[in-house]
Structures are given as structure tokens and as C-alpha cells.
A and B are shown apart, each in its own frame.
Chain A
Amino acid sequence: MLDLASSLKEIIVGRRLTLLGVGPMSITVTREAVALANKYRTPVALIPSRRQVDSSKFGGGYVEGWSTQEFSAYVRSIDRGGFALLSRDHSGPWQGSKLSSDLSFPEAMVEAKESLEDDIAAGFNLLHIDPSAALSRGFSDADVAEMAVELVAHCVSKMDNPRQCVFEVGTDEQDTSHDPLSVTEERIDFLFRELERFGLPRPLFYVAQAGTKVLETQNFGSFDQPFTVEGSLPATVFVPEILSLLGRKGLLLKEHNADYLSDNSLKWHRKFGIHGANVAPEFGVTETRALLSFLRDFALEVEHDEFSNIVLDAGNWAKWLRPGSPASDSEKVEIAGHYHFADPRVVEIREILSKRAAVSGVDSESGISQSVRASIDRYLKAFGYGARK
């Protein structure tokens, strides 16, 4: 029987599939992603950040208030064919809740390790080790690589066998440009040397900037631009080069921030042979837009405005705005609505909507789910899910 890494390689490389990583922005997004994975009988990775889902020791995450164990249990309960991969996104020091940003380095590492321990105990399959938050606190590239090795070592020590989970490393600083290939190669070589020194497994995936950058509800990266972005290589040049480099190192390319890319750009993921791509906020935005649309359709103005005010007051939209953005309040609500789906008052608003819609013979929750499903399916179809072997 093949181990997880070999199985994934066989599916991704053998079938020339781009593995989709879906941010579980809500229970709806999670459910629809698992349903589609089972429909296509092909793995889809669910990629919670620690802010979305985390160990109960740290209060869980904003998605359904789920702890790691609860999230895992929910996914396993609906994943009849076993096609959902549990994949921790961005685990490392200072990657947790806002409170974790106040921690000292030793405290942040302890917290990261405890979070990873829960991931392993909950049966996660992929672990993205990302200590890059340390870079903004004065640590060097080499420090970050050593932190990654320390975290991998800790994970392996908690596993039943060292091939129980596969690792993903690398950073994806949202940028319109990418690191020089020589810098990427030096980082990989340094990491490999350190892993080898401690007898640790190499990662399967490497996260590299492929020219994607999400702001508001658009992708501003070079990948999706009709013109070459100054200082960036065209995707037709850079993507084959980074794939070639990673291929020589035995690594698979994982692209982050693939949200809102055009259909044509998505089609080229498979044509280039990009091995994996993560999409998150777009699915939350889709769900929010569908919810707002139903609230308007059924004349629930009070509930519409109340939901909007909850979102606007919380301010989670701010980090997604372009500098000097002229985004309207309604656009801000669309950007950040998904942070509040577990808010008891928002749950009540959705119940009110369901009842009002049902009077007209409409299942609003089913309609919202269909919108989310179509949004996820756009990626899956482009990435080779359902294609003939």
C-alpha cells in the first residue's frame, strides 16, 4: 500500500491534477467541498488557518467556533468516501489568534507545537509549517528555516509513524512579484540540509509565489494580468521555471491565494502542471453575496442591515482593502461577512430568512449552498477533477 505522499504524487502528477485547497470559511463551504470531493472521488484539501479552526486550548476558531477535534469529527462524519484531506494552513509561531501576537518567541513556539499536536491527534493529513511571521519580528531567513525544522521534528515525534502526515513548507507573502529563483533554491537547499542533519522527512509541497495576490474581491497578482507586471516575469516564463526547480528537488508546487482568478488562468494551472492551489476568501464572499441576495429578495431589510452592521462594526474587512480603497460599505460586508456566520444573531437572521423563503416554497439555505458549490466547482473543473484518466 502506498503511503500518503506517494498516493498524492500518483494522483497529482500521474493524472496531471491541480489539487484544490479549500479554505473552510463556514460549515456550508466545508460541506460543499467534501460533497464535491466525493462526487469526483478525488481528494480535495480543507485548509483551515489557525484563526479559522484551532485547538480547544486556544479557544477554537471563528468558523463555527470549531476546535481542531470538532472540525475533524465533522468532516469525517460527512466524508463517506474518504476524499477530504485535512490540511493545516500556516502553522507556526504567531499564526494563531490576535492574542498570540503578544507572545514571546519561546511562548509562540510552544503554542504552535501544541496546536500541531492537536492537528496530528485529530488525524490531519497535511501540515503547512510556516514560521514566516517571525520575519517581521527581526528574525532572519535562516532563523525561520531552523524554526521550521524544529516544528517538523516536534510533529514527527508525535506521530505514530513519520509518514503519517505530509509536510508543506515555504511562505507566500502576498506580493505581485516573486523571489528570485536562486534565493528560493538556496532556501530549499538550506532546509534540506537541516532536515537531513536530524533525519527528518522532506516536505512534499513547497509554497512559492506564482503571481497571485488577493485584495478586496480581486486577484491583483501578475498571473492574471494581460500585461507583464513591472519587476515580474510573465507567468509563461516564471511558472515553468519554478516548476522545473522544484521538480529537481523532488518537491510539488503549492500556490496560495488563487482566489478570483479568471477561468483562463485556472485552465493554465493544469496546462502548466501546477500541483496545488489554495482558495479561501472567495468561497466565503460567494456565500455572503448569496445570503445578502436572499435577504433582499425576501424584503428582510432590517435583517440585511443588522447583518451588515455586525460585519462593518467588527472591522475584519480592513486587512483585505487596497491602500486608499474606495470600497463601499456593501463591498466591505461582502468581503468580511463570513467571519460572522457563527455569530448567534447571524444564525438567527438565517433562520428568519429560511422561514420567510419557505412560505414562497424557496429553500434559501439550499440556494446558498448551490452558489458555494458552483464557486468551488469552477476551480475543480479547471483543475482536472472529473477529467478522464
Chain B
Amino acid sequence: MIDVIVLNRNLGSVCDALCTDIESVLGLEVNIVVVDCSTSEELASKRVTVQADSEAALRDGLRFGRGMNLGIKYLLDADSQSDWMLLLPVDTEIVHLGLEALVRDLNSVVELVAVKPMPEGSAYEDLMPITDFALGWNFEEGPWLLKTGFVREQIAMSGRDEFFDANNFRGYLTSLELAFRAYANGLCVGTTKNLLLRENESYLIEKAFLMKTNPLEENHRLFISEGVAWLQSKYGIADPWDFAQLVRLGFERFLVEHPDEAHKSLGGASQ
């Protein structure tokens, strides 16, 4: 059984089509949670599980972190027994799923707590020409597979009711911070070709207003300026690349401490 959280922003029909697609490829072993912050009923998903209707959400839209936090809270409050949860923005399209191989990947390393479904055309494929799965540390933003136990522990440790930092509104360095939290705790993250996804960026380009987000260029500008301010405020680190190097060090330490897994690293011997 796997939980899937889909975050909808005024693209109800797109969201419902994605849900149908998920069910068709994953079969009955899936529990879909739709977090919706649509501004009108006709733009909402017909499969809403969690309705985000706060004034701020309706005004600014829900971004990845805040939206997923609502879905995660719903699942944990419902005492989900699934081992993994898949987080998908509404503009995701499933290109390929090899379910059996994916399950094998998820169980391939005991310390594995987060897996990046490979985006179509990802340059990481170059670093793993032979295998489908690899451990890494600096992956693209967007969809993630998270281990439910890790999410539960992180929330308990933080003392807050959220997994993703809600102060990081646009989700700057979300993937890097996720890897940081894993490696800082002696755990690890990886990526797999057995779940290949595509981001349909046309929605963001053509329907930014409908999705209650800024136009792409403005979004990029704010993503960086607000994100760097968030990084400096939270960690006291001025340069994002310095933060990245810290995560890399954690990754390398993990490989040293787990020599049996070193061959699974991106660019490792078996790759």
C-alpha cells in the first residue's frame, strides 16, 4: 500500500486525470489524498480530500511545502499504515512506472528515507548508465517519495505540525534540505528510473494566474531572492553552494560509514 498526495491549484480536471492515471498504474494498492485550494468549485478537483480554504491559501495559492504539509497531516492523523508516501504537484505526468522494480529500490537500502522519481530528461541519468537506482544528495525540486516513519519522526522532533518548512514559501532548496535532514541523521536519499515523471510546465507558463502563482519569470526572481533570505535566516549561511557542500559532506560521510552501499552512489563503481 502506498499513499499519494496530489496538490491541486485550480486545475481540477488535470488533477482528476492524474488521479485516474495513478490508479491505473498502481492498481488498488494506492490511497490518494487530494489537497485542494481552488478558488471556485468548477476549478476544484472532484476528489478533494483536504480543502485548504484559509484566506492566505485562497489569495496566494498553496505552494509545494505548505500544501504537502496539509496532506501529510491528514495521513498521519488518520494513522496511515503505508510505508511510503508519494508527493505530486498537479502538473505531474507519469511517463513510466516499473512497480516491482520500484518496490525493490525502496527496500534496497535500510537507511533510505526519500527517493526522487527521476524527471524525464534528467541529467542524472548520465551518472547511472547501468543501474536504475542510485544514492545522491542534490536532486531536482518537485515530486518525492518519502518514508512515512521518517516523516513522522521529523515532525515529532520539530515540535511543529509540519514536515516542510512553511516559512520557505516557494520551496527554495527543498530537495537539498530534505537530503540534509536525512544525511545529518545517518540516513540517505536516492533516485530511481523506475518511476519516471514529467512536469508539464505549460500550466505554470500559461495558467499562472489560474493557479494563483506569479508569472514564471517573476516566480523565478522571487524564488531566488526570498529563498536566499530564508536560507540565511534559518541556517546563517550566505551562499546556497556552501549549503550544498555541507550536504555533500554528509553524503560522503554516509558512504564512508556504509561501505557496502558505496557502489550505489551516483557515479559510484557500479554506475
Contacts and interface: CB of A to CB of B under 8 A. Distances in A.
Interface string A213-248: 000000000000011101111111110110010000
Contacts of B220: 226-227
B8 interface: no
B127 A231 contact: no
Interface stretch (A67-75, A176-184, A195-203): A176-184
Contacts of B266: 237, 241
Main DSSP-derived SS at the B contact region: helix
Contact of B267 (A181, A230, A264): A181
Contact of B245 (A232, A236, A244): A236
B121 A180 contact: no
B126 A180 contact: yes
Contacts of A233: 123-124, 126-127
B223 to A, nearest CB: 8
Nearest to B271: A182
Contacts of A241: 127, 266-267
A182 B123 contact: no
Given A227-B220, A241-B267, A264-B239, A236 B248 contact: yes
A192 interface: no
A132 B140 CA distance: 33
Main secondary structure of the interface of A (DSSP, over half): helix
Q: Determine the interface band of chain B, counting residues with CB < 8 A from chain A.
A: 10 to 19
A234 B138 contact: yes
A190 interface: no
Given A231-B121, A244-B267, A264-B239, A181 B126 contact: yes
A268 interface: yes
B210 to A, nearest CB: 23
B224 interface: yes
A231 B124 CA distance: 8
A226 B126 contact: no
A226 B245 CA distance: 16
Contacts of B136: 237
B149 interface: no
Contacts of A231: 121, 123
A268 B241 contact: yes
B127 A240 contact: no
A226 B239 CA distance: 11
Interface in B127-184: 127, 129, 136, 138, 140
A228 B140 contact: yes
A177 B123 contact: yes
Nearest to B239: A264
B138 A182 contact: no
- Chain A interface size, as a band, is 20 to 34
Interface string B116-128: 0000010110110
B101 interface: no
Interface centre among A231, A237, A241 (most CB of B within 10 A): A237
Contacts, number: 43
B126 A237 contact: no
Contacts of A227: 220
Most buried by A among B129, B241, B245, B248: B241
A178 to B, nearest CB: 8
Contacts of B121: 230-231
Given A234-B138, A244-B267, A226 B127 contact: no
B244 interface: yes
A294 to B, nearest CB: 36
Interface in B216-271: 220, 224, 239, 241, 244-245, 248, 266-267
B241 A237 contact: no
A264 B121 CA distance: 28
B256 to A, nearest CB: 15
Contact of B138 (A180, A230, A236, A268): A236
A370 B126 CA distance: 45
A180 B124 contact: no
Given A181-B267, A228-B140, A268-B241, A240 B248 contact: yes
Interface in B92-128: 121, 123-124, 126-127
A233 B140 CA distance: 9
Nearest to A228: B140
Interface in A231-271: 231-238, 240-241, 244, 264, 268, 271
A369 B234 CA distance: 45
Contacts of A271: 241, 245
Interface in B61-101: none
A343 B121 CA distance: 48
A264 B228 CA distance: 14
Contact of B126 (A182, A234, A240): A182
Nearest to A229: B123
Contacts of B245: 236, 271
Nearest to A179: B126
A271 B242 CA distance: 10
Nearest to B129: A182
Interface string A169-195: 000000001001110000000000000
A74 to B, nearest CB: 40
23 contacts: A180-B129, A181-B126, A181-B127, A181-B267, A182-B126, A230-B121, A231-B121, A231-B123, A233-B126, A234-B138, A234-B244, A235-B241, A236-B248, A237-B138, A237-B266, A240-B248, A241-B127, A241-B266, A241-B267, A244-B267, A264-B241, A271-B241, A271-B245
Interface of B: 121, 123-124, 126-127, 129, 136, 138, 140, 220, 224, 239, 241, 244-245, 248, 266-267
Q: Nearest 9 pairs between A and B by C-beta?
A: A180-B126, A236-B244, A233-B123, A226-B224, A237-B138, A241-B267, A232-B123, A182-B129, A231-B123
Given A231-B123, A233-B124, A237-B266, 16 more contacts: A177-B123, A180-B127, A181-B127, A182-B129, A227-B220, A228-B140, A231-B121, A233-B126, A235-B241, A236-B138, A236-B244, A238-B123, A240-B248, A241-B127, A268-B241, A271-B245
